[in-house]
């Protein structure tokens, strides 16, 4: 059996290991740094870190340091972080020190999990606040229209359909879902009904955003352009290896007048927050001689 060099394993300087664990960027880096120092202290004795796979069904080698193998190994449980194994040559020195560091590693793991859960709850809370604002904003149009037309049933049906659409959009937070941009534009125009503007489009292929989300954004941008007095609206898309871009141009009064933001859609601030959760950005710019250009951009490998 091939083992570590015969030279005695030096005594461990516990503060050095504690500093390595405490100063690491995260708990995974902390365990990797610990293994690096353990392998050097063990004069090349192989030290391994095993963790459960993503499905939680099997233990897999996650990280290793050292080159001297050993058939007989001792495992030190790290709780949810898996186990660290060391060879028998260095076990007498390394195992007690790893065992002493387990509570520190567990505290770092628990702290990171708490941060992740807290961040997730904060994002969900923000999404709920946005959704409530979207519903309040969007429901005004069909209900007010119904009151003016003295047709409460029609307004309620339109409002319920809108709530269903918003609920679907609120759940559509994965940009990996592909949708047909041309189809989304057609559906957005259908929802808007008759508008006093001609809409032209240059759209082809799939877009890396959910159809519900894109339909909602398109309806908002076209409604804003109509509110700004546009008679011509052009929607076109371009794609590169890293970016997909949708542009909505209009010949309305532009941004300075303030009419653009008064359309019947989500409102610009809510729209920006909505698309930001989808990994996208929405920018507005004036056109020459008049009008507005709205650009929706999604970055990432295609």
Q: Report the CATH number at residue 250.
A: 3.30.565.10
87, 118, 149 - which closes a domain: 118
The Cα–Cα gap between 72 and 182 comes to 63
DSSP structure class, residue 68:
B
% of the chain with per-residue pLDDT over 90: 13
CB 34 within 8 A of CB 98: yes
Phi, psi angles (nearest 5°) of residue 289 = -85, -15
The Cα–Cα gap between 125 and 103 comes to 32
The verdict on residue 160 lying in a domain is: no
The token pair at 179 is: 């949708």
The Cα–Cα gap between 159 and 145 comes to 11
Alpha carbon dihedral 117, 124, 206, 201, in 10-degree steps, equals: -150
Q: Residues with Cβ < 8 Å from 174, sequence gap 6 or more?
A: 210, 278
For the ranges 74-83, 94-103, 264-273, the lowest mean pLDDT is seen at 264-273
Q: Give the domain range for residue 207.
A: 174-302
> What is the domain count for the chain?
2
Confidence of residue 265 (pLDDT cuts 50, 70, 90): very low
pLDDT of residue 247: 93
180 and 274 share one domain = yes
pLDDT at 53 over 60: yes
103 and 183 share one domain = no
% of the chain with per-residue pLDDT over 70: 71
CB 186 within 8 A of CB 218: no
pLDDT of residue 163: 63
DSSP structure class, residue 79:
G
185 and 296 share one domain = yes
118, 140, 162 - which closes a domain: 118
* CA terminus-to-terminus distance, the chain: 50
182 and 286 share one domain = yes
Q: Residues with Cβ < 8 Å from 284, sequence gap 6 or more?
A: 255, 260, 268, 292, 293, 294, 295
The verdict on residue 135 lying in a domain is: no
List, as one string, the DSSP characters of 249-274. EE-SS-STTS-GGGSSSS-HHHHHHH
Confidence of residue 219 (pLDDT cuts 50, 70, 90): confident
The verdict on residue 8 lying in a domain is: no
The Cα–Cα gap between 121 and 117 comes to 6
100, 118, 136 - which closes a domain: 118
88 and 192 share one domain = no
Which three-class secondary structure state does DSSP give residue 84? strand
């Amino acid at each position: 059996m091939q083992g570590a060099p015969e030279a005695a394993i030096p005594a461990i300087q516990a503060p050095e290991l504690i500093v390595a664990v405490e100063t690491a960027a995260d708990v995974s880096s902390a365990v990797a740094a610990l293994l690096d120092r353990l392998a050097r202290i063990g004069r090349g004795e192989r030290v391994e870190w095993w963790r459960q796979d993503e499905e939680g069904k099997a233990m897999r080698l996650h990280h290793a340091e050292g080159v001297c193998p050993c058939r007989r190994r001792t495992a030190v449980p790290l709780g949810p972080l898996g186990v660290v194994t060391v060879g028998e040559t260095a076990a007498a020195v390394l195992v007690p020190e790893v065992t002493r560091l387990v509570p520190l590693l567990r505290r770092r793991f628990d702290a990171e999990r708490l941060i992740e859960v807290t961040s997730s709850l904060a994002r969900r809370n923000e999404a709920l606040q946005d959704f409530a604002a979207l519903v309040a904003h969007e429901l005004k149009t069909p209900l007010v229209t119904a009151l003016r037309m003295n047709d409460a049933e029609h307004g309620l049906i339109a409002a319920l359909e809108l709530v269903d659409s918003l609920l679907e959009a609120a759940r559509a937070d994965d940009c990996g879902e592909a949708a047909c941009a041309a189809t989304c534009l057609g559906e957005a125009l259908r929802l808007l009904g008759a508008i006093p503007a001609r809409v032209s489009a240059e759209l082809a292929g799939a877009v890396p955003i959910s159809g519900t989300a894109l339909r909602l954004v398109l309806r908002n941008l076209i409604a804003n352009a109509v509110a700004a007095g546009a008679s011509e609206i052009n929607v076109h898309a371009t794609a590169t290896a890293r970016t997909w871009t949708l542009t909505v141009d209009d010949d309305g009064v532009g941004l300075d007048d303030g009419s653009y933001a008064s359309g019947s859609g989500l409102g610009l601030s809510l729209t920006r927050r909505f698309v930001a959760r989808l990994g996208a950005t929405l920018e507005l710019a004036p056109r020459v001689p008049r009008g507005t250009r709205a650009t929706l951009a999604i970055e990432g490998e295609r």
